[in-house]
Amino acid sequence: MNRLTRAVLLRLAVTFVISMIFGFAVSEITYRLSRSDMERIPEVLTIVVPAGTADQISQGQPGPQLPEMKFFEGDQIVVVNQDQVSHQLGPLWIPPGATSSLTLDRPSQYNLSCSFQPTETVGIDVQPRAKTSDRVVGALAIGLPTWGLLALYAMVAAPLPGKTPAAGSSA
């Protein structure tokens, strides 16, 4: 490997490290300034449908109390069905005596049928989550273009060793 190649690789390596540090710093500062509940770890909401719920609902009585159905991507709903008949909560179907779970893997808003609420519907709001991968992608999205520009600048700003001056410049 000659001096020119070594010098090019060295500049590429140095500018890469500087660019990635810069990209990481900008991405992290932006993330920390704008973070909210979106970054909390995924939670599990467990709902128990007690025995006799279907009979209660058919008699017009209230079913189990449901919390606010607002979630972040990655949260999980678990429904424990202690009743003698199957129940449904939107996409969740729970055979009698069984437990079903659903991981909310996409941001969305549903208005779902629910067999254990007298209104027979329930709204679910799934918000997007800021993931670690988003931060890595953010750092790379800033770092890689910066690297390109910085590397180009480093090649042009200081002459590389062993490069002969351009013919026109010697006049």
Partner 1 sequence: MQKNVILAVIGALAVVLLVWAAAFARPYVLHGSEIDPPVPAPPIQLSRADGSGFDLAARQGRVALIFFGYTSCPDICPTTLADMKRVKAGLGSQAEAADFVFITVDPQRDTPEHTQSYVAGFNPGFIGLSGTEDQLQPVWKAYGVFREVQPGATALGYLVDHSTRSYLIDADGNLRLTYAYGTPVEDIVKDIRYLLKEGER
Residue 48 interacts with partner 1 (CB under 8 A): yes or no: no
Which position among 22, 90, 141, 160 is part of the footprint of partner 1 (CB under 8 A)? 90
Residue 20 interacts with partner 1 (CB under 8 A): yes or no: yes
- Calpha distance 69→104 (Å, rounded): 12
- The beta strands (E) that lie in 34-144 are given as 44-49, 70-72, 76-81, 87-89, 92-94, 99-103, 108-113, 121-127
Does residue 136 sit in helix, strand or coil? helix
Residue 120 interacts with partner 1 (CB under 8 A): yes or no: no
- Calpha distance 85→122 (Å, rounded): 20
Residue 44 interacts with partner 1 (CB under 8 A): yes or no: no
Half-sphere exposure of 129 (CA within 13 A, CB side): 18
Residue 138 CB, shortest distance to partner 1, in Å, is 11
Give 170's DSSP letter.
G
Phi-psi region of 6 (alpha: psi -120 to 50; beta: other; left: phi over 0): alpha
Residue 169 CB, shortest distance to partner 1, in Å, is 29
Which position among 132, 164, 169, 170 is part of the footprint of partner 1 (CB under 8 A)? 132
Residue 86 CB, shortest distance to partner 1, in Å, is 4
Neighbours of 19 (CB within 10 A): 22
Residue 158 interacts with partner 1 (CB under 8 A): yes or no: no
Which position among 56, 82, 86, 127 is part of the footprint of partner 1 (CB under 8 A)? 86
33 Cβ contact partners less than 8 Å away, ≥ 6 residues apart = none
Binding mask 91-110 for partner 1 (x = CB under 8 A): xxxxx-xxxxxxx-x-----
Residue 84 interacts with partner 1 (CB under 8 A): yes or no: no
By CB under 8 A, name the binding residues for partner 1.
1, 5-6, 9-10, 12-13, 16-17, 20, 85-86, 88, 90-95, 97-103, 105, 131-133, 135-136, 140
